[in-house]
Amino acid sequence: RDRHGITLPELDIGGGHAVAHRPGEHPLDVPELARRVRRELADACAQSDLPVPRLAVEPGRAVVARAGVALYRVLAVKRTGARVFVAVDGGMSDNPRPALHGVRCAPRLVGRRSTAAVRPVMVVGRHCEAGDILAPDVPLPDDVRPGDLLAVPVAGAYHLSMASGCDLAGRPPVVAVADGRARLLVRRESADDLRSRDTGL
Protein backbone atom coordinates (compact mmCIF):
# COMPACT_ATOMS: atom_id res chain seq x y z
CA ARG A 1 0.00 0.00 0.00
CA ASP A 2 2.70 2.50 0.99
CA ARG A 3 4.87 1.79 -2.08
CA HIS A 4 2.22 1.20 -4.73
CA GLY A 5 -0.99 2.76 -3.43
CA ILE A 6 -2.83 -0.56 -3.51
CA THR A 7 -4.79 -2.15 -0.69
CA LEU A 8 -5.36 -5.82 -1.39
CA PRO A 9 -8.96 -6.87 -0.72
CA GLU A 10 -8.30 -10.60 -0.27
CA LEU A 11 -5.70 -12.79 1.42
CA ASP A 12 -5.53 -16.42 0.25
CA ILE A 13 -3.54 -18.52 2.73
CA GLY A 14 -3.58 -21.55 0.43
CA GLY A 15 -4.15 -25.13 1.42
CA GLY A 16 -2.19 -28.24 2.26
CA HIS A 17 -4.05 -28.64 5.52
CA ALA A 18 -3.10 -31.76 7.43
CA VAL A 19 -5.21 -34.90 7.34
CA ALA A 20 -5.02 -37.95 9.60
CA HIS A 21 -3.53 -40.91 7.72
CA ARG A 22 -3.29 -43.47 10.54
CA PRO A 23 -5.25 -44.43 13.65
CA GLY A 24 -4.36 -42.19 16.56
CA GLU A 25 -3.50 -39.18 14.41
CA HIS A 26 -5.67 -36.12 14.97
CA PRO A 27 -7.29 -34.32 12.04
CA LEU A 28 -6.94 -30.59 11.63
CA ASP A 29 -9.25 -28.59 13.90
CA VAL A 30 -10.74 -26.31 11.23
CA PRO A 31 -12.73 -24.02 13.58
CA GLU A 32 -9.65 -23.50 15.76
CA LEU A 33 -7.51 -22.76 12.69
CA ALA A 34 -10.08 -20.21 11.53
CA ARG A 35 -10.18 -18.51 14.93
CA ARG A 36 -6.38 -18.27 15.16
CA VAL A 37 -5.87 -17.03 11.62
CA ARG A 38 -8.62 -14.42 11.89
CA ARG A 39 -7.24 -13.20 15.22
CA GLU A 40 -3.66 -12.94 13.93
CA LEU A 41 -4.82 -11.28 10.73
CA ALA A 42 -6.94 -8.72 12.59
CA ASP A 43 -4.05 -7.89 14.96
CA ALA A 44 -1.54 -7.51 12.12
CA CYS A 45 -3.90 -5.30 10.11
CA ALA A 46 -4.59 -3.12 13.14
CA GLN A 47 -0.85 -2.64 13.73
CA SER A 48 -0.34 -1.58 10.11
CA ASP A 49 -3.54 0.49 9.89
CA LEU A 50 -4.92 -1.71 7.12
CA PRO A 51 -8.49 -2.88 6.57
CA VAL A 52 -8.93 -6.59 7.26
CA PRO A 53 -9.04 -8.34 3.88
CA ARG A 54 -11.41 -11.12 2.91
CA LEU A 55 -9.81 -14.36 4.03
CA ALA A 56 -9.74 -17.35 1.65
CA VAL A 57 -8.50 -20.90 2.19
CA GLU A 58 -8.09 -23.83 -0.20
CA PRO A 59 -9.02 -26.94 1.79
CA GLY A 60 -8.42 -29.31 -1.17
CA ARG A 61 -6.70 -32.26 0.46
CA ALA A 62 -8.76 -32.03 3.63
CA VAL A 63 -11.93 -32.37 1.53
CA VAL A 64 -11.01 -35.18 -0.87
CA ALA A 65 -8.30 -37.20 0.90
CA ARG A 66 -10.69 -39.33 2.96
CA ALA A 67 -12.94 -39.92 -0.06
CA GLY A 68 -10.38 -42.22 -1.69
CA VAL A 69 -9.14 -45.71 -0.82
CA ALA A 70 -6.29 -47.35 -2.75
CA LEU A 71 -6.54 -51.12 -3.21
CA TYR A 72 -3.46 -53.30 -3.69
CA ARG A 73 -3.15 -57.02 -4.33
CA VAL A 74 -0.42 -58.87 -2.43
CA LEU A 75 2.09 -60.39 -4.88
CA ALA A 76 4.53 -62.03 -2.48
CA VAL A 77 5.40 -62.42 1.19
CA LYS A 78 9.06 -62.75 2.14
CA ARG A 79 10.18 -63.75 5.63
CA THR A 80 13.80 -63.07 6.57
CA GLY A 81 14.40 -63.78 10.24
CA ALA A 82 12.30 -61.41 12.27
CA ARG A 83 11.41 -59.25 9.25
CA VAL A 84 8.39 -59.80 7.01
CA PHE A 85 8.09 -58.05 3.66
CA VAL A 86 4.72 -57.88 1.90
CA ALA A 87 5.05 -56.89 -1.78
CA VAL A 88 2.03 -55.44 -3.57
CA ASP A 89 1.12 -54.72 -7.19
CA GLY A 90 1.59 -50.96 -6.88
CA GLY A 91 4.03 -48.67 -5.17
CA MET A 92 5.82 -45.45 -5.93
CA SER A 93 4.31 -45.27 -9.42
CA ASP A 94 0.81 -44.71 -8.04
CA ASN A 95 1.71 -43.40 -4.57
CA PRO A 96 5.08 -41.61 -4.44
CA ARG A 97 4.33 -39.68 -1.25
CA PRO A 98 5.82 -42.20 1.22
CA ALA A 99 9.11 -42.11 -0.73
CA LEU A 100 9.08 -38.36 -1.42
CA HIS A 101 7.52 -36.92 1.72
CA GLY A 102 7.71 -39.65 4.36
CA VAL A 103 3.93 -40.02 4.56
CA ARG A 104 3.01 -43.00 6.74
CA CYS A 105 0.15 -45.09 5.33
CA ALA A 106 -1.97 -47.59 7.23
CA PRO A 107 -2.77 -50.57 4.95
CA ARG A 108 -5.44 -52.97 6.17
CA LEU A 109 -6.36 -56.47 5.08
CA VAL A 110 -9.76 -56.45 3.34
CA GLY A 111 -11.86 -59.06 1.58
CA ARG A 112 -11.44 -61.81 4.17
CA ARG A 113 -11.42 -62.20 7.93
CA SER A 114 -8.30 -63.42 9.65
CA THR A 115 -7.96 -64.78 13.16
CA ALA A 116 -4.15 -64.91 12.96
CA ALA A 117 -2.03 -62.93 15.36
CA VAL A 118 -1.04 -59.46 14.17
CA ARG A 119 2.63 -58.61 13.66
CA PRO A 120 4.50 -55.65 12.17
CA VAL A 121 5.39 -56.06 8.50
CA MET A 122 6.90 -53.84 5.83
CA VAL A 123 4.60 -53.25 2.85
CA VAL A 124 6.73 -52.61 -0.23
CA GLY A 125 5.97 -51.77 -3.83
CA ARG A 126 6.67 -53.59 -7.07
CA HIS A 127 9.48 -51.32 -8.26
CA CYS A 128 13.19 -52.08 -7.91
CA GLU A 129 13.91 -49.09 -5.71
CA ALA A 130 15.12 -49.18 -2.12
CA GLY A 131 12.73 -46.33 -1.32
CA ASP A 132 9.63 -48.06 -2.68
CA ILE A 133 8.17 -48.62 0.78
CA LEU A 134 4.47 -47.93 1.22
CA ALA A 135 4.34 -48.64 4.95
CA PRO A 136 7.10 -49.74 7.35
CA ASP A 137 6.16 -51.63 10.51
CA VAL A 138 2.43 -51.75 9.85
CA PRO A 139 0.38 -54.33 11.82
CA LEU A 140 -1.10 -57.03 9.57
CA PRO A 141 -2.28 -60.59 10.26
CA ASP A 142 0.56 -63.11 10.26
CA ASP A 143 -1.23 -65.21 7.62
CA VAL A 144 -1.24 -62.48 4.96
CA ARG A 145 -0.58 -64.20 1.63
CA PRO A 146 -0.36 -63.63 -2.13
CA GLY A 147 -3.75 -62.77 -3.57
CA ASP A 148 -4.91 -60.88 -0.48
CA LEU A 149 -6.19 -57.34 -0.86
CA LEU A 150 -4.81 -54.44 1.17
CA ALA A 151 -6.70 -51.15 1.43
CA VAL A 152 -4.91 -47.87 2.05
CA PRO A 153 -7.33 -45.21 3.29
CA VAL A 154 -6.98 -41.44 2.82
CA ALA A 155 -5.89 -41.85 -0.81
CA GLY A 156 -8.21 -39.37 -2.48
CA ALA A 157 -5.94 -36.34 -2.68
CA TYR A 158 -2.69 -37.25 -4.41
CA HIS A 159 -2.71 -40.83 -5.69
CA LEU A 160 -4.25 -39.94 -9.05
CA SER A 161 -2.61 -36.55 -9.53
CA MET A 162 0.91 -37.77 -8.67
CA ALA A 163 0.75 -41.17 -10.39
CA SER A 164 3.42 -41.76 -13.02
CA GLY A 165 4.59 -44.34 -15.54
CA CYS A 166 7.53 -45.39 -13.36
CA ASP A 167 9.14 -48.53 -14.89
CA LEU A 168 6.42 -48.32 -17.57
CA ALA A 169 3.85 -49.57 -15.09
CA GLY A 170 0.47 -48.36 -16.26
CA ARG A 171 -1.46 -46.12 -13.92
CA PRO A 172 -4.35 -47.82 -12.09
CA PRO A 173 -8.03 -47.18 -12.72
CA VAL A 174 -10.26 -44.98 -10.59
CA VAL A 175 -13.65 -46.35 -9.57
CA ALA A 176 -16.45 -44.46 -7.83
CA VAL A 177 -18.45 -46.47 -5.29
CA ALA A 178 -21.74 -45.30 -3.79
CA ASP A 179 -24.82 -47.06 -2.44
CA GLY A 180 -23.47 -50.50 -3.35
CA ARG A 181 -22.75 -49.56 -6.97
CA ALA A 182 -19.42 -49.07 -8.73
CA ARG A 183 -18.73 -46.88 -11.76
CA LEU A 184 -15.46 -46.59 -13.68
CA LEU A 185 -14.22 -42.99 -13.77
CA VAL A 186 -10.70 -43.47 -15.17
CA ARG A 187 -9.75 -46.67 -16.98
CA ARG A 188 -6.53 -48.54 -16.30
CA GLU A 189 -3.59 -47.34 -18.41
CA SER A 190 -2.60 -50.08 -20.85
CA ALA A 191 0.64 -51.04 -22.59
CA ASP A 192 -0.90 -49.67 -25.80
CA ASP A 193 -1.41 -46.32 -24.07
CA LEU A 194 2.24 -46.23 -23.12
CA ARG A 195 3.41 -47.29 -26.60
CA SER A 196 1.17 -44.76 -28.36
CA ARG A 197 3.64 -41.99 -27.55
CA ASP A 198 6.53 -43.75 -29.29
CA THR A 199 7.16 -42.19 -32.70
CA GLY A 200 10.48 -43.77 -33.67
CA LEU A 201 9.60 -47.46 -33.47
Q: Say yes or no: 115 and 99 in one domain.
A: yes
Q: Say yes or no: 82 and 154 in one domain.
A: yes
User: How many Cβ atoms sit within 10 Å of the Cβ of residue 10?
Assistant: 8
The answer to whether residues 102 and 85 touch, using CB atoms and an 8 Å cutoff, is: no
- How sure is the predictor about 201, in pLDDT bands with cuts at 50, 70 and 90? low
In percent, the amount of the chain with pLDDT more than 70 equals 100
Q: Say yes or no: 128 and 111 in one domain.
A: yes
Whole-structure pTM value: 0.80
Domain membership flag for residue 2: no
∠ CA(153), CA(61), CA(54), 5° rounding? 155
Amino acid of residue 42: A
The answer to whether residues 73 and 88 touch, using CB atoms and an 8 Å cutoff, is: yes
Catalytic residue among 45, 105, 128, 166: 128
- Residue 59: its pLDDT value, please? 81
Q: Say yes or no: 59 and 81 in one domain.
A: no
Mean pLDDT for the stretch of residues 171-186: 94
Convert the pLDDT of each residue in 56-83 to its tens digit: 888 888 888 888 999 999 999 999 988 9
CATH code: domain of residue 87: 2.40.37.10
Q: Say yes or no: 59 and 73 in one domain.
A: no
Convert the pLDDT of each residue in 93-133 to its tens digit: 998 888 888 888 899 999 999 999 999 999 999 998 888 99
Question: Is 105 an annotated catalytic residue?
Answer: no
Q: Say yes or no: 144 and 116 in one domain.
A: yes
